[in-house]
Structure formats: structure tokens, C-alpha cells
């Protein structure tokens, strides 16, 4: 057990808190690949654990001074709970008691508190919130997802920050997805070298000089689902908007298929003929089940799961956090950033 990662689990986050995350943690404790620290109302968690199967040797409760929201979807209560509980959870990382944090708290709150509490993995590098989005299959790997970063909603990035984001995203693709030579791209308004904002043009020139991944140039937002790259790099505001649009389109497509199935017999017959393709689209579109959006560039890993995450998705988030720690994601990111320091510093990271 000594060499197993310790994952801190925020039991307040998510619309189904604490039941979904508690059930996911109990299930993962039986798998036996990580130690779990549950941050929450100690008495309430102990009471609810009595009805679950779990390994008490791998699961420990750390009390936090906050009540659980009484109603699902109460955004104000969820934010208040996050602001009370996340400092406790992040404090466990700072004190070295935990290696990574899994939370389904409101992403903006988690992003803000993590940046304020944790140090950078390499001084001078801004953190980036990454997200997985569904794509068509790619030649570089089996995962039908691309990693898009930054999606934090922050202001436009400098050229140096875009370079650092590319390096971190490529390191994540190598460690987590097993892609030896990740294909990395820049989100821009056009495919040409000189197209896009000045920061994108400058980053484009610099990224062509970096070994360790395959820089495939610019992509447009419409190209992301086509699977042109494993990693798509953007400024935080643009990335946030693009991610939201892609999530909305995926949800709309599935909802439209469900409506067609219920509405007319002829439409239902057509969907039966298309069922293999619709089924694949449904599986790919459910990328909320992937686990979580990693916050890269900090000295401890934070995974932010979707607030609507199911028990299965939260279990995936815990597994993903454990995998990142076991495979040395933080150290790999630090090595790659140090190796490219001259470039991203030169461009003003």
C-alpha cells in the first residue's frame, strides 16, 4: 500500500452529492489501487457508508465544516459548499497527504481555489484547464477524444502560454492515452501560418521547432470533431466557448434522435437502419463519462468532473487520477517544460 497513490475526493461536488461520489469511492476502494481520503461531513458520511460495501483500510474520512446542499441544482449552495470544502481538500495536497484531487464542484470555483492554493509545477508557467471532446477515430491512437486546453474561460493567452499549454497537453496525451508522438494543433481562424491573432502566429512558428510531438499546424473549431489532432491548444476564453458549443451539439444530436424515435414509426425504422452509427455517436457523445477535466501545470493534479457526472463517471475520475499519479504525469510535464523553457520564456509565458 505504501507505493499506492492517495486520491483526495471532494464529496460535496456534483448534483448528486454526496451519494454518487460516495458510492464511486466505495467501489474504487474495493479495487485496491489507491488510498482514498473523503472530504465531507464526517458524521453524515459515516452514516451513509454503513449501507455500502467498501474497504476501510483504503478509505478514510476527513471532516469539512460545511453542510451538503439540500436540493439538487442549488447553484448558490453548491458554490458555498465548494468554498468551504475545497480549501480542506487542497490543504491535504499542500501538506503532502494526497497526490491528486477529484471534485465535481462548480468548475470556476475549483479553478480559482486550485490556482490560489497550489504552486506551479515549473515557476513561471500558467496552469491550464483541459477538457476532452469527442472526435472521429485518429491514426495516432484508439481514444475517440481530443484534449482541448485552455478551457478555463480566462482571457486570451500569450504566445508563450500557448507553447507551454501545447507541451503540457502533449505530455498528458503520452502518459494517459499512450500516444507516442501526439499530434498537436493550435485553434485559429484559418489553416495558414499567418492566419489568426499575433499570439497564435508567434506560437505556430515556435512549435515547429519542438521535438517530442508532431505539430500539425492550425485547426479551426469545425475541424476538432474530425480528429485532426490529439491536442488542441487555445486561449482560455475561446477554448471555453468552443467546448460549450461542442457539448451542446452532442447533447442536441442525441436528444434529436430520441425525439425521432418516439415521434414517428417511419423515423423509428430509419433509426434502426442507422443504429450502429447512432450507437457509436451516443457512446462518443457521452464524454462526461470520461472522468474529468485535468487542471495541468500545478504541482498536484486536480481533476474537475462535470457536475452532472454519474457514479460511473466519478469512479472513472478516481481511476484516471490514480493512473496519472502512478504514471508520473506531474514529473513528465515538469521535464518537458524545462526542456522547452527557452522557447516559452522567449515568447512571454
Q: Report residue 264 as a C-alpha cell.
A: 414517428
pLDDT value for 284:
45
Annotated domain spans of the chain: 1-118
pLDDT value for 173:
93
pLDDT value for 248:
58
pLDDT value for 319:
94
Q: Does domain 1-118 have CATH number 3.40.50.300?
A: no
Mean pLDDT, 10 residues at a time, over the chain (349 residues)?
85 89 95 94 94 95 86 79 94 97 93 95 93 73 77 86 96 90 91 83 92 91 85 85 66 52 52 49 51 91 90 92 95 95 84
pLDDT value for 16:
83
Amino acid at each position: 500500500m505504501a507505493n499506492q497513490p492517495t486520491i483526495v475526493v471532494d464529496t460535496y461536488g456534483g448534483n448528486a452529492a454526496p451519494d454518487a461520489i460516495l458510492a464511486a469511492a466505495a467501489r474504487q476502494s474495493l479495487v485496491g489501487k489507491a488510498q482514498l481520503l473523503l472530504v465531507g461531513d464526517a458524521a453524515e458520511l459515516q452514516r451513509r457508508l454503513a449501507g455500502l460495501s467498501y474497504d476501510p483500510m483504503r478509505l478514510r474520512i476527513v471532516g469539512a465544516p460545511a453542510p451538503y446542499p439540500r436540493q439538487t441544482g442549488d447553484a448558490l449552495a453548491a458554490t458555498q459548499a465548494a468554498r468551504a470544502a475545497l480549501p480542506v481538500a487542497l490543504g491535504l495536497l499542500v501538506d503532502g497527504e494526497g497526490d491528486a484531487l477529484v471534485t465535481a464542484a462548480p468548475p470556476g470555483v475549483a479553478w480559482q481555489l486550485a490556482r490560489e492554493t497550489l504552486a506551479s509545477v515549473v515557476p513561471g508557467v500558467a496552469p491550464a484547464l483541459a477538457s476532452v471532446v469527442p472526435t472521429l477515430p485518429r491514426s495516432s491512437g484508439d481514444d475517440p477524444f481530443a484534449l482541448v486546453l485552455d478551457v478555463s474561460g480566462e482571457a486570451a493567452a500569450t504566445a508563450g502560454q500557448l507553447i507551454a499549454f501545447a507541451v503540457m497537453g502533449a505530455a498528458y496525451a503520452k502518459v494517459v492515452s499512450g500516444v507516442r508522438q501526439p499530434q498537436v494543433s493550435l485553434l485559429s481562424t484559418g489553416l495558414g501560418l499567418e492566419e489568426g491573432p499575433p499570439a497564435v502566429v508567434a506560437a505556430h512558428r515556435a512549435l515547429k521547432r519542438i521535438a517530442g510531438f508532431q505539430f500539425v499546424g492550425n485547426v479551426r473549431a469545425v475541424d476538432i470533431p474530425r480528429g485532426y489532432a490529439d491536442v488542441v491548444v487555445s486561449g482560455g476564453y475561446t477554448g471555453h466557448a468552443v467546448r460549450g458549443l461542442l457539448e451542446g451539439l452532442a447533447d442536441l444530436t442525441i436528444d434529436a434522435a430520441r425525439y425521432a424515435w418516439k415521434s414517428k414509426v417511419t423515423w423509428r425504422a430509419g433509426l434502426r437502419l442507422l443504429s450502429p452509427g447512432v450507437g457509436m455517436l451516443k457512446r462518443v457523445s457521452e464524454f462526461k463519462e470520461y472522468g474529468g477535466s485535468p487542471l495541468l501545470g500545478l504541482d498536484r493534479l486536480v481533476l474537475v468532473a462535470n457536475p452532472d457526472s454519474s457514479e460511473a463517471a466519478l469512479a472513472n475520475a478516481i481511476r484516471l487520477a490514480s493512473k496519472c499519479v502512478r504514471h508520473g504525469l506531474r514529473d513528465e510535464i515538469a521535464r518537458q517544460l524545462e526542456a522547452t523553457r527557452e522557447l516559452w520564456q522567449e515568447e512571454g509565458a
